[in-house]
Amino acid sequence: MRFVTRFVLGAAFVTTLVQCRPERHWEHDLTRVSLDIPAHVTSYVGVELEEPTRAQVELGRHLFHDPLLSADGTVSCASCHLQANGFSDPRPFSEGVGGGVGDRNAMAIVNLAFDESFFWDGRRNSLVGQAHDPVVHPLEMAETWTSVEGKLRESGTYPQMFFEAFGNLDLDSNQVTRAIAAFETTLLSFDAPYDAFFYEGAMGVLDSSALRGFDLFFGEAECVHCHAGPLLTDQTLKSNGLDGTVTDPGLGAVSGLDSDLGKFKVPTLRNIAQTAPYMHDGRFSTLLEVVEHYNSGVDFLAPNLDPDMHIYAEGLNLTEQEKLDLVAFMESFSDEVFLTNPAFSAPQ
């Protein structure tokens, strides 16, 4: 019996060695990708992003689109973060392995490399840390890291990609999440009609309705207090007065502070016309409903309501045309190149 065990263990050890030995022609590829970030963005956010290597980005793209990361091989990151929807989910609540359903709307993945808090409640502080969670979340990919690592090691193509990306065959969760974060770093969107108009002074890209919406957004409707700068978010967590009674504690559950109850990440408005439904629980299905919230629906009993929300205390009293104008302006945040860029799509 003892001999058999020893033999089996020995054989397993030899197989592992054989599997993990890099082929002679594999090389650690240190070529970096050019991120092409407009200078006004860099100066506004004050952060210079480190350019990831081409091999890490390519590996991350494969992993992001690969259902191998889930327990039953049916769910990938891209199942809930769809490119055509600005890498968000058109369903209010996404379906994970076995039809499990969460209670928050899947967020858009865009320009996130500049952020310091992730998830609606800000519970993670890096993209690498974030990418760890969906894999083991019981309602999302419901997998274990040991199992993912095993599947990747046994696959025909991944060992070489990991070697090219990291120069070794550790092939562990740390490398998986680093590669996914590298891919996400390339998901940049600064090429919408809004950018051409606002940052390049291009005429004729916004129609008259969108131009009136622009005036409202920066003026009377004061959206720019929170949806600010080229990221269209001030990257904080705040309450915009959705509920008088807290149903989801948001940041409060993370910090343990009553003063944070009901606060959520101020989301970017990049590609917002494609990322319906809206808010952390996907309660609004159209941008017009969102505008109506700010126009007349803010709940002033909401705990920790942001001071900047008191501008809506009297109601905005927007006309029907002005509401449509705000929507038309928000539609100018859609970046067609980003939404269809084959470099972000599932590898063929």
Q: Closer to ligand HEC at the Cβ: 57 or 266?
A: 266
- CA 241 to CA 300: how far, in whole Å? 6
Q: How far is the CB of 296 from ligand HEC (least distance, A)?
A: 11
Among 56, 79, 85, 175, indicate the residue that binds ligand HEC (CB under 6 A): 79
- CA 108 to CA 115: how far, in whole Å? 13
The strand pairing partners of 275, in sequence order, are none
Q: How far is the CB of 218 from ligand HEC (least distance, A)?
A: 10
Among 131, 206, 231, 298, indicate the residue that binds ligand HEC (CB under 6 A): 131
Residue count at the site for ligand HEC (CB under 6 A)? 53
Nearest to residue 139, comparing CAs of 81, 95, 107?
95
Please give the backbone phi and psi of residue 318, each rounded to the nearest 5 degrees, phi first.
-75, 145
Among 163, 190, 264, 338, indicate the residue that binds ligand HEC (CB under 6 A): 264
Q: How far is the CB of 244 from ligand HEC (least distance, A)?
A: 13
Among 135, 232, 261, 324, indicate the residue that binds ligand HEC (CB under 6 A): 135
Where is 78: in which H helix or E strand?
A: helix 77-80
- CA 242 to CA 288: how far, in whole Å? 15
Q: Is residue 189 close enough to count as binding ligand HEC by CB under 6 A? A: no
Between helix 173-185 and helix 54-64 the angle, nearest 10°, is 100
Q: Is residue 173 close enough to count as binding ligand HEC by CB under 6 A? A: no
Name the DSSP class of 67: G
- CA 321 to CA 211: how far, in whole Å? 12
The sign of the CA dihedral 64, 65, 68, 69 is: positive
Q: Is residue 192 close enough to count as binding ligand HEC by CB under 6 A? A: no
- Tokens in use for 94? 């996404």
The strand pairing partners of 331, in sequence order, are none
Q: How far is the CB of 279 from ligand HEC (least distance, A)?
A: 4
Q: How far is the CB of 3 from ligand HEC (least distance, A)?
A: 43
Among 65, 92, 120, 322, indicate the residue that binds ligand HEC (CB under 6 A): 120
Q: Is residue 45 close enough to count as binding ligand HEC by CB under 6 A? A: no
- Tokens in use for 207? 């129609």
Q: How far is the CB of 157 from ligand HEC (least distance, A)?
A: 18
Question: Which of the residues 210 through 249 are near ligand HEC (CB under 6 A)?
Answer: 221-223, 225-227, 238, 240, 242
Among 26, 44, 119, 218, indicate the residue that binds ligand HEC (CB under 6 A): 119
CA torsion 203-205-208-214 (nearest 10°) is -90
Question: Which of the residues 302 through 341 are near ligand HEC (CB under 6 A)?
Answer: 306, 308-309, 326
The strand pairing partners of 239, in sequence order, are 305
CA 149 to chain centre: 24
Question: Which of the residues 278 through 297 are near ligand HEC (CB under 6 A)?
Answer: 278-280, 287, 290-291, 294
- CA 30 to CA 166: how far, in whole Å? 9
| Chain positions contacting ligand HEC, by CB under 6 A | 64, 69, 75, 77, 79-81, 94, 96, 102, 104, 106-107, 109, 112, 118-121, 130-131, 134-135, 140-141, 180, 221-223, 225-227, 238, 240, 242, 264-267, 269, 272, 275, 278-280, 287, 290-291, 294, 306, 308-309, 326
